[in-house]
Amino acid sequence: MQSLNNTKVKKQNIGHNTIVKCNDVNIGEGFCTVIAGPCAIENEKMAVQTAKEVEAKGAEIFRSSVFKPRTSPYSFQGYGTNGIEIFSSIRSETNLLLESEVLSCEHLEILYDHIDLVRIGSRNMDNYELLKEVGKTNKPVILKRGMSSTIEEFLLAAEYIISNGNERVILCERGIRTFETYTRNTLDILAIPALKELTHLPVIVDPSHSCGRRSLVPAASRAAIAAGADGIIIEVHPNPGSAISDGDQSINFEVFNNLMKDLYRLSEVMNKKWAVKNRKMTI
Ligand code: PEP
Ligand code: MN
């Protein structure tokens, strides 16, 4: 990995693990952070209902996607700027932090004051102009691995953000494209310890887009934490069968509840504190 030698992402060049602190939530080595919510905000009722439910079960951050990158231009593209009003309702009903995907510099500007963390999706991992713009901000950034990117390319994308001044980068493994079609992508489980070995940055996993099928999502989530991930970002929907997007890989509240119990126990084994300090949990 010649090109990583003098980089700011390289663990040996920094000498410590970075914990990204976002209000009272810590993301990084020694913590387990759960980001949960629907693939896309569909309306205020389901967003608030889902937010309250995932918070009660121990999630700290809400997936608040309002701009959706869809394969077909005819599919639902997200709630768009109307979603910003819904963010206020979620904030008044819960203590969750909000994260949302930006597909462009324009989205970054629109959402900037309304979210706590920015997400850059797989399709934009190598959108270097967007990475540079996010790098000029001080917001924590969840950077997802491009679906056909090597670990080195992934880390160099993170370097674009860090070298522009923003060190609050969280890496997200979300599965890569392989010849296998049973799953939507192939979760590269060894990317977790590999990224931990190479870099000081927090590493989380998206089991939902890795699997593409909800029956596999709990196993992928448990495997991620057991392999050393610092948390997960997961799709939860009140009624996955009627979800407008990614229903097949979304889990319902009951499955989420059981999974959280497993992750809570697993994080103890992995010497990870649950990321939230003061929040009330019912698990
Ligand atoms: C998402 O998280 O909403 C998403 C579209 O995932 P990815 O960018 O990993 O495909
Ligand atoms: Mn999705």
- Long-range CB pairs of 105-112 (<8 Å, 24+ gap) are 105/129, 105/130, 105/133, 107/67, 108/133, 108/134, 108/137, 110/81, 110/84, 111/66, 111/67, 111/84, 112/137, 112/139
pTM: 0.96
What ranges do the domains of the chain cover?
17-269
- What is the number of alpha carbons within 13 Å of residue 16 lying toward its C-beta? 3
Kindly report, residue by residue over 55-74, the tens digit of the pLDDT: 999 999 999 999 999 999 99
pLDDT band at 278 (very low <50, low <70, confident <90, very high): very low
Protein residue with least CA distance to atom 6, ligand 1: 121
Kindly report, residue by residue over 27-58, the tens digit of the pLDDT: 999 999 999 999 999 999 999 999 999 999 99
Q: Check residue 213 and report its DSSP letter.
A: S
Angle at 127 between CA 83 and CA 202, to 5 degrees: 75
Mean pLDDT of 265-270: 93
Protein residue with least CA distance to atom 10, ligand 1: 122
| Cβ 233 vs Cβ 206: under 8 Å | yes
Q: Is the CB of 144 under 6 A from ligand 1?
A: yes
Q: What is the best residue among 76, 174, 176, 233 to mutate for testing ligand 1's pocket, by most ligand atoms within 8 Å of CB?
A: 174
Integer Cα distance of 168 and 106 in angstroms: 21
Query: How much distance in Å is there from the Cα of 176 to the middle of ligand 2?
Result: 15
| Residue 20 predicted with pLDDT over 70 | yes
Q: pLDDT at position 75, please?
A: 93
**From the candidate CATH numbers 3.20.20.70, 3.20.20.80, 3.40.50.920, 3.40.630.10, the one assigned to the domain spanning 17-269:** 3.20.20.70
Other CB atoms within 10 Å distance of the CB of residue 251: 23
Is residue 280 helix, strand or coil? coil
Q: Is the CB of 174 under 6 A from ligand 1?
A: yes
Protein residue with least CA distance to atom 2, ligand 1: 121
Strands 25-27 and 20-22: antiparallel
pLDDT band at 141 (very low <50, low <70, confident <90, very high): very high
